[in-house]
A and B are shown apart, each in its own frame.
Chain A
């Protein structure tokens, strides 16, 4: 299986801060990577697909970049409603999720 190493596992930031999460694949996955947001009691939601494409209706403060083995997810201006756990997911060979990043407000 392809391993996805996501960091950090948790972070605390202030409203308005820029937040960055990284995900590293154990082998080249091209751009076959999605980013999910998971809030307690709610179904996971895709925010970014194919590494850098913003899903329709998702605020533009969310963005993704990268290809190959190294990927970045950014929230440019953290909002209270962004409190959630975020996961990267590769789908180049089968499917693997990263370990998740829990985002909290400082």
Chain B
């Protein structure tokens, strides 16, 4: 059974930093592109970032480019999101998401999410 378990969500002040983690199991982690997707309170889904199976390729949405860094450790079946210079608009539930196959954008498994709240 595929499982994606996020952690690391906290309440923090604007300008702060944190790292989200996602522990993956139930599939061959290093075969798949992985993503972070977020949903702000009362808002829709927003794609944040992706990383290729081997970590060689990363992409970011415009709203987080230059502030967030995605990474993975295939030896630990783990995905990460380093978040710097956070803003109030980064407040959201952050989901770790598995891509069904590279380049399809078909998200077949989602974690339950970890909540990040940015507030002064």
- Interface residue ranges, A against B (CB under 8 Å): 1, 32, 34, 36, 38, 43-44, 46, 49, 85, 87, 89-91, 94-100
Which residues of the other chain, A, contact B62 by a CB distance below 8 angstroms? 1
Q: Place the interface of chain B in its size category.
A: 10 to 19
Q: Which residues of B contact A99 (CB under 8 A)?
A: 44
Instruction: Determine the distance from Cα of A97 to Cα of B95 in the docked complex, in whole angstroms.
Output: 14
Given A1-B61, A94-B59, A94-B61; A100-B105 close (CB under 8 Å):
no
Would you call B1 an interface residue if the criterion is a C-beta within 8 Å of the partner chain's C-beta atoms? no
CB-based nearest B residue for A97: B45
Chain B interface helix/strand/loop/mixed: strand
**Does B27 count as interface, using CB distance less than 8 angstroms?**
no
Complex interface residues of chain B between 65 and 115 (CB less than 8 A to chain A)? 103-110
Q: Does B47 contact A (CB under 8 A)?
A: yes
CB neighbours (8 Å) of A32 from chain B are 105
* CB-defined A-B contacts under 8 Å, sample of 9: A1-B62, A34-B105, A36-B107, A43-B109, A85-B44, A87-B44, A89-B105, A94-B61, A97-B44
Which residue among B45, B46, B50, B109 has the maximum number of chain A CB atoms within 10 Å of its CB?
A: B45
Chain B 34-65 per-residue mask, 1 if CB under 8 angstroms from chain A, else 0 = 01000000001111001000000001011000
Q: In the complex, which of the residues B35, B108, B109, B110 contacts A95, with contact meaning CB atoms closer than 8 Å? A: B35
- A96–B35 alpha-carbon span in the complex (Å): 12
Contact at A91–B105, with CB atoms within 8 Å?
A: yes
Contact A46 B108 (CB under 8 A): yes
Residue of B nearest to A99 (CB): B44
B103 contacts across to A, CB distance below 8 A: 91
Q: Which residues of A contact B46 (CB under 8 A)?
A: 97
Find chain B residues with CB under 8 A from A87 CB.
44-45
**Shortest Cβ distance from residue B18 to the other chain A in the assembled complex, whole angstroms:** 23
Which B residues lie within 8 Å of A43 (CB)?
A: 109-110
